Amino acid sequence: MGKKLSIGNLGEELRGGRLSSPELLSELVCTNTALRRASRRLGQLYDDAVAPTGLKATQVGLLTQIAALREGGHQWPTLQSLAERLAVSISALTHALRPLVRDGLVGLMPDEHDGRTKHATLTTHGEHRLHEALALWADANQRVEVVLGTSASALRALADDVASPEFLEAYEARRMLRG
């Protein structure tokens, strides 16, 4: 391939038939692929760390978010607020909650004012399991922090930016997040 393509004209080149899919794959720098690959690697490390509890790292994260959204003695989070915090759909959240409910770690209770709204609650068993998992998770997290060094905080900040509503708004408006 003679010329290097810019990200801005890849779609145009494909639509115009001037670029084949294999050529695109050899040229494309894909942020999504890189982040997913990194996420899978970290996920495997954290899954291995919390495996003695019978939980996956994503389940520990979900239990942690339920607990965090209740901080200060407030009521348990609604499924909607939990899904928004995790940047997932309600159906994805309910799918993820199913084994935690089945295993008695999470309860779902209807809102006292609106029966259609449900709140996620941590059971006593769920709180104990979360405490066990967090001790193991903290060890793995410390190791990741050491390996990444000062890049760890930059990586977290970037990931938080990408997960933010502001990023989605900037993406939809095709503008820079911080311009």
Q: Mean pLDDT for each 10-residue chunk of the chain (179 residues)?
A: 56 68 65 90 97 97 94 85 92 97 97 91 97 97 96 94 91 84
Any long-range contacts for 17-26 (C-beta under 8 Å, 24+ apart)? 26/1
Q: What is the pLDDT of residue 23?
A: 61
**What are the C-alpha distances in Å from 73 to residues 55, 69, 87, 101, 124?**
26, 10, 24, 22, 16
pLDDT at site 33: 85
- Percent of residues in the chain assigned helix, strand, coil, to nearest 5: 70, 5, 25
Q: What is the mean pLDDT of the chain?
A: 88
Tens of pLDDT, residue by residue over 90-137, are 999 999 999 999 999 999 999 889 989 999 999 999 999 999 999 999
Give pTM, 2 decimals: 0.77
CA distances, 56 to each of 16, 47, 62, 117 (Å): 45, 5, 10, 27
